[in-house]
Amino acid sequence: MAYLTADQHAIVTDAVARAESATSGEIVTVLADRSDGYTDVVLMWAAGIAFSAMSLFALLPEPFLDLWDSLIGGWTHEWTTGELATMTIMLGLVAFVLTWLLLSWDALKFRVVPGPVKTARVHDRAISHFKVGAERRTHGRTGVLIYLSMQEHRAEIVADRPIAEQVSADVWGEAMADMLADIKRGCVAEGMAAGVRDVGQVLAEHFPPAEDDRNELPDRLIEV
Per-residue pLDDT tens over the stretch 167-185: 887 888 888 888 999 999 9
Domain that holds residue 176: 6-36+114-223
94 and 129 part of one domain: no
Mean pLDDT to the nearest integer, 144-163: 90
169 and 197 part of one domain: yes
Non-local (6+) Cβ contacts of 94 within 8 A are: 53
pTM: 0.81
Write down the pLDDT at residue 193.
94
Share of the chain above pLDDT 90, in %: 44
Determine the Cα–Cα distance for residues 177 and 83; give it in Å rounded to an integer. 59
* DSSP state letter for 95: H
| Contact (Cβ atoms closer than 8 angstroms) between residue 125 and residue 36 | yes
45 and 147 part of one domain: no
Determine the Cα–Cα distance for residues 28 and 223; give it in Å rounded to an integer. 11
pLDDT at 42 over 80: yes
Determine the Cα–Cα distance for residues 174 and 172; give it in Å rounded to an integer. 5
- Domain end, chosen from 69, 89, 111, is at 111
> Which is more confidently placed, 221 or 67?
221
126 and 218 part of one domain: yes
| Contact (Cβ atoms closer than 8 angstroms) between residue 143 and residue 137 | yes
209 and 133 part of one domain: yes
Please give the torsion angle defined by the CA atoms of residues 22, 23, 25 and 28, in that order, rounded to the nearest 10 degrees: 0
125 and 204 part of one domain: yes
Q: Count of domains in the chain?
A: 2
pLDDT band at 187 (very low <50, low <70, confident <90, very high): very high
Non-local (6+) Cβ contacts of 201 within 8 A are: 19
- Domain end, chosen from 111, 140, 160, is at 111
20 and 129 part of one domain: yes
Within-domain flag for 1: no
13 and 53 part of one domain: no
For 8-24, the pLDDT digits (tens) are 999 999 999 999 888 88
Determine the Cα–Cα distance for residues 183 and 170; give it in Å rounded to an integer. 20
119 and 215 part of one domain: yes
Write down the pLDDT at residue 68.
65
Within-domain flag for 95: yes
- Domain end, chosen from 111, 129, 160, is at 111
